[in-house]
Amino acid sequence: MHIIAAKAVCLKEAADPGFREYAKQIVANARKLAAEISKAGFRIVSGGTDNHLFLIDLYSRGVTGKDAQPALDRAGITVNKNSIPFDPTPPMTAGGIRLGTPAVTTRGMREADMERIAAWIAEALSHLGDAERERRIRGEVAEFAVQFPLYNRRWEITHHHSQGVPAHLAERQRRCVLRSISGAPAISESAPTSATSSTSLHAPTVKRSTC
């Protein structure tokens, strides 16, 4: 039954007039991100993108996806290694990485934000193994990520239901929501799994407290 319910929610969202604009923004963000990474000297497989994701060829720069994925992760950016066309490396090594933009778009990011993300990715990939640089980028990523909280809608609902609630209880609700926001990962193409393309920036994690 949960699968049927999920499909119903999916179809309802796709039927919403705003979904068309959302889809257009996903593609616009993907094109901008690909263009900015290309400007930094990285080859985009197929030269660009017409959809929500694209591949970066790292093999031509002497880097593998296996090396790039953990390096970017240390910098607070999650991507997936991916084979490229005519890849001379094994699939688990991979000559590239893949990136996508649905989730960053869901969170409200636009083309200007893609410039910042591209700059961080290019810098980290150009200085693999530079621990100090990775820590600096991670800090910048975290500061940027909290501007796009995952739970805006949850905050709105909680704030609405706090009207008329005793002040000390309303404040407790507010703090609980802010904790969940600040402790959440920030950006991904979709929910990060081994089967999906994900470009994700992470906010600092905090321990969940009992609300």
Phi, psi torsion values for 185, nearest 5 degrees: -65, 155
* Least confident interval from 151-155, 168-172, 179-183: 179-183
Domain boundaries, the chain: 2-150+185-201
Q: Pull the structure tokens for residue 69.
A: 């994925």
* 12-26, 70-84, 171-185, range with greatest mean pLDDT: 70-84
125: CB partners within 8 A, 6+ apart: 42, 58, 61, 63, 68, 71, 72
Q: Say what the pLDDT of residue 187 is.
A: 42
Q: What is the pLDDT of residues 88-119, one digit of tens each?
A: 999 999 999 999 998 888 888 999 999 999 99
Global pTM reads 0.74
Question: How many whole angstroms separate alpha carbon 117 and alpha carbon 147?
Answer: 14
Q: Does domain 2-150+185-201 have CATH number 3.90.1150.10?
A: yes
